[in-house]
Amino acid sequence: MDLYDALHTSSTGLAAQRLRMNLISANLANVNTTRTPEGGPYRRKEVVFEARSRAKSFQDVLQSRQNRRPADVQATRIIEDQRSPIVKFAPHHPDADEKGYVALPHINVMEEMVNMISATRSYEANITAVRAAKDMALKALEIGK
């Protein structure tokens, strides 16, 4: 693996974790949102990642397998939580139905915080990999002095 491959793989990981953090932030910001433009309470969102090869042809696939080239991380889709909303009795809430119940998003703040810590650690690991690649490149340049 060369320097470009290391930097490119880490940069795709950084972009993926940034997207994950944005979705987690949106989930936490909308934990009490009972009304959306689509109707009903906010639905929790989560990103699905996939490892993708940069190979374009069959020969490229064989060479990347032989050279053990790393795959890139790509967000393939963003899914919405399909669980039913949490129903809470709050007769004075403006979005309460005629029986006094309000539909709230099915978001667990603790789960979102754990996901945020995980995304932060993954982001930091990719930053460390970029720094290590940069340091190795600088050391290689110093050899020539």
Residue-wise pLDDT for 115-141, tens only, equals 999 999 999 999 999 999 999 989 988
Tell whether 136 is covered by a domain: yes
Entry pTM: 0.82
Tell whether 94 is covered by a domain: no
Instruction: Return the number of other C-beta atoms located less than 10 Å from residue 25's C-beta.
Output: 13
For residue 99, the model assigns a pLDDT of 93
Tell whether 36 is covered by a domain: no
Tell whether 145 is covered by a domain: no
Residues 6+ away with beta carbon under 8 Å from 51:
71, 72, 73, 74
Q: Which domain holds residue 117?
A: 3-31+45-80+107-140
pLDDT in tens, 21-53: 999 999 999 999 999 998 889 999 999 999 887
Backbone phi, psi, residue 77, to 5°:
-165, 160
Q: Is 36 helix (H, G, I), strand (E, B) or coil?
A: coil
User: Could you identify the residue written with the tokens 């963003």?
Assistant: 78
User: H-helix or E-strand containing 4?
Assistant: helix 3-29
Tell whether 19 is covered by a domain: yes
Tell whether 75 is covered by a domain: yes
| Total number of domains constituting the chain | 1
Tell whether 8 is covered by a domain: yes
User: Could you identify the residue written with the tokens 């090869």?
Assistant: 53
Cα distances from 89 to residues 32, 85, 113, in angstroms, run 14, 13, 26
Q: Is 129 helix (H, G, I), strand (E, B) or coil?
A: helix
Structure tokens at 9: 């793989």
**Distance (Å, whole) CA 25 – CA 89:** 27
Tell whether 132 is covered by a domain: yes
pLDDT in tens, 73-83: 889 999 999 99
Backbone phi, psi, residue 48, to 5°:
-110, 125
